Structure 1
Amino acid sequence: MEYYVKSIIPILKMNYDKFTPLEKNIADFFIGNKERVDLSSKAVAERLYISEASLSRFAKKCGYRGYREFIYQYESTFVGNRESMTGNTRMILNAYQELLNKTYSMIDETQIDRISRAMDKAERVVVGGSGSSGQAAAEMEMRFMRIGVNIDSIQDGDLMRMRAVFQDARSLVFGISVSGETDSVLYLLRESHWRGAKTVLITAEKKEEFSEFCNEVVCMPSLRYLNQGNLISPQFPILVMVDILYAHYAALDKGKKELLHDDTLRALDGGKRRQPISGVK
C-alpha cells in the first residue's frame, strides 16, 4: 500500500453532501472505482452519460484547474486490484494504513499550528467528549497536563453543560464528536463560544453550522468509509489528531516542556526534586 500520499478520495467524501446530483454521480464513480480503466475525459463521460464539460466543472469545484490535473492526482494514488488479504493481521494493518493515508490527505498543519498557539495562550483548557470520544478526551488531558497545560476533560453530559457557563475569553474549549451530533458536546461549544471562549471541534463530519460557534473545526477520517472500519477502535483517528496537536504544541518552547514532562516521571518514581520552572500555567 502507498504510504503518505495525498489522495483526493477523502476530499470527495468530505464534500459529498455539497455536490449536485450530477456531481454526486461523478464522485460515486471515482470513490467506488476498483479497477484500472480508461480515465480519459471522453471515456468517463461516455461511461457516465455526461458531457466532458461536466467533468471539467466537477474538477474545478474540487479545487483543481481542470480535469487533467484532477485525474493526474487521482491516478497517482489509485491502487488497482490489491492482492488478496491473507489473515486478520494483514487486514487490520491495511485498514490502519488506509486511515493514516486519509489523515495525511486531510490534515491542515497551518490550522494545527493556530490551535497550538491558542492553547499556549489560554489560561485554561477544557475538552469534552462522550463514550469513546470521552476516553480520548481523558487521554488528551493526561498527555497535555504533563507538559504544563491547565487542562480538564469532561465525559459526563450534565457536567459539560454546567462547566460551559464558567468559560470566558481566557478559555480554550475542545469538543470531540465523531458524528458531529453529540448534544452535550455541541452545547459545551455553543455556550462557551457565546461567553467569549475560543472553541475547537474535532469531528468526522463537516457542517456549515459549526462555523457559527467554532473558531476551528478539525476534520478527521470517518470509519464509515473505511474498509473493515467496524474492526477499528473509534478512538484511533481521534488520537492521531491529538498526537499531531501534541507534537506541534510541544515544539513551542520545547526545552521547557521536556523538563516538565521529565518532572512528571520523577514525581511518579518518587525521585529527587529540582528547582521548579517559573511561569508554568
Structure 2
Amino acid sequence: MEYLKSVIPVIESNYDNFTTVERSIADFFIYNREEMDFSAKAVAGKLFVSEASLSRFAKKCGFKGYREFIYQYGENFVVKQESMTGNTRTVLNTYQELLNKTYNLVDEKQVERICRYMSKAARVFVCGMGSSGLAAREMELRFMRIGVDITSMDYGDMIRMRGVFLNESSLVFGVSISGDTEDVTFLLQEAHEKKARTVLLTAKNKPEFDSFCDEVMLLPSLIHLNHGNVISPQFPILLMTDIFYSCYVSQDKYSKEILHDSTLRALGKTGRPLV
C-alpha cells in the first residue's frame, strides 16, 4: 500500500484562516485534478488574483513562499485514473484518502512528546461531545487496559465540573473535529490555567488554540471529500488513538503487554466472551 505526500491536508486545516481571495486559491488546489503550468504567473492569471496573494497564501500554509509550496504540491502530483463507481468503491476510496491525509498530517515527534506527557501524568482525562465523545470512550478503554489512569467524559456538565479538580500533574485531551465545541475548549482553558498539560485533536488549525493548548494534533477533515458524508467522523480520531497507543506501548512494551494480558484474563474469569 502506497501513501502519497500531499499538501492538501495542510491547506484544509488552515482553511478558516484564509481571506476570501485565499480561499479561492485554496479551493483551486484542493479540487484540481489536472497537471498544468503551476507557475505563479499562470495560476494568478487563471484565478484572477495577484502573485502576491499566492505568496501570502503559501506562507499561511507554513511555507517560505509560493515556490516552495508549489514544489511540494507538484512533486508527487497524482492524477486519479479511475472514477469512483459503486457504493463499496466510494467508501473504500474515501477511507484510503483519509489514510493518506493522516499520513501527511501526523508528526511522529509530536506523537512521542504527547506519549511522554501521558507517561508522566498522574491522571489523564479525555473529553468530547457526540461522535467525538464516543471516540473518547474508546480511547479510555484502550489505555486503561495498559495501566493508564484515564477517564473519558462526553457530557457537558461533567466536562465543566472536572475542570475544578485538575492540577499540574494532569493531562487533558480535548477532541473536537470542528474546534468549536464550547465545553471542550472550556476544559482545555481551565486545565491550562491550572498548569495541566493540554492536547487538542481537531481538523481546524486556529491561532487562538496556541494560547491554551500545549499540543494541537491535526486530524484529516471530512468536509472537502466529495463523499465524506458516508464516513463516520469517529474514524480520524480512532486512527490517531491507534497511533498514540502504538507509540505509548513501544516505550515499555514488555510491561504494558503484561498489563494488557492481565486485563484479558480478568475478563475471561467472568465467563463472558472476550472482545
Q: What is the aligned partner in structure 1 of residue 85 from structure 2?
A: 86
Query: Per-residue CA shift, 1:244-273, capped at 9, x if unaligned?
Result: 1111111111111111111111111229xx
- Of stretches 244-253 and 76-85 in structure 1, the one that deviates more from structure 2 is 76-85
Find the aligned partners of 1:229 and 1:9 in 2 and give their Cα distance: 15
Structure 2 unmatched runs, 5+? 271-275
Does the aligned pair in 1 maintain the 2:123–2:150 contact within 8 Å? yes
Q: Quick one: which amino acid aligns to residue 94 of structure 1?
A: N
Does the aligned pair in 2 maintain the 1:148–1:257 contact within 8 Å? yes
Does the aligned pair in 2 maintain the 1:3–1:97 contact within 8 Å? no
Does the aligned pair in 1 maintain the 2:14–2:204 contact within 8 Å? no
Find the aligned partners of 2:230 and 2:11 in 1 and give their Cα distance: 24
Q: Pairwise mapping of residues 1-281 of structure 1 onto structure 2 (< 5 A)?
A: 3-50=2-49, 52=51, 55=54, 58-64=57-63, 66-270=65-269
- Of stretches 76-85 and 90-99 in structure 1, the one that deviates more from structure 2 is 76-85
% of aligned pairs identical? 61
Q: What is the aligned partner in structure 2 of residue 279 from structure 1?
A: none
RMSD: 2.1
Q: Quick one: which amino acid aligns to residue 176 of structure 2?
A: S
Does the aligned pair in 2 maintain the 1:35–1:81 contact within 8 Å? no
Q: Quick one: which amino acid aligns to residue 106 of structure 1?
A: L
Q: Go from structure 1 to structure 2 and tell me whether the alpha carbon gap of 1:189 and 1:62 turns closer, same or farther (over 3 Å shift).
A: closer
Query: Per-residue CA shift, 1:52-104, capped at 9, x if unaligned?
Result: 56545644554445544433322233333531223111111100011111111
**Which protein has the larger Cα radius of gyration, Structure 1 or Structure 2?**
1
Q: Go from structure 1 to structure 2 and tell me whether the alpha carbon gap of 1:171 and 1:232 turns closer, same or farther (over 3 Å shift).
A: same
Find the aligned partners of 2:206 and 2:66 in 1 and give their Cα distance: 27
Number of corresponding residues: 270
Does the aligned pair in 2 maintain the 1:169–1:195 contact within 8 Å? yes
Does the aligned pair in 1 maintain the 2:17–2:206 contact within 8 Å? no
Query: Per-residue CA shift, 1:178-234, capped at 9, x if unaligned?
Result: 111112212221222212211111111121222222111111011111221100001
Structure 1 unmatched runs, 5+? 272-281
Query: Per-residue CA shift, 1:20-49, capped at 9, x if unaligned?
Result: 444333323212212233333443233233
Q: Quick one: which amino acid aligns to residue 4 of structure 1?
A: Y
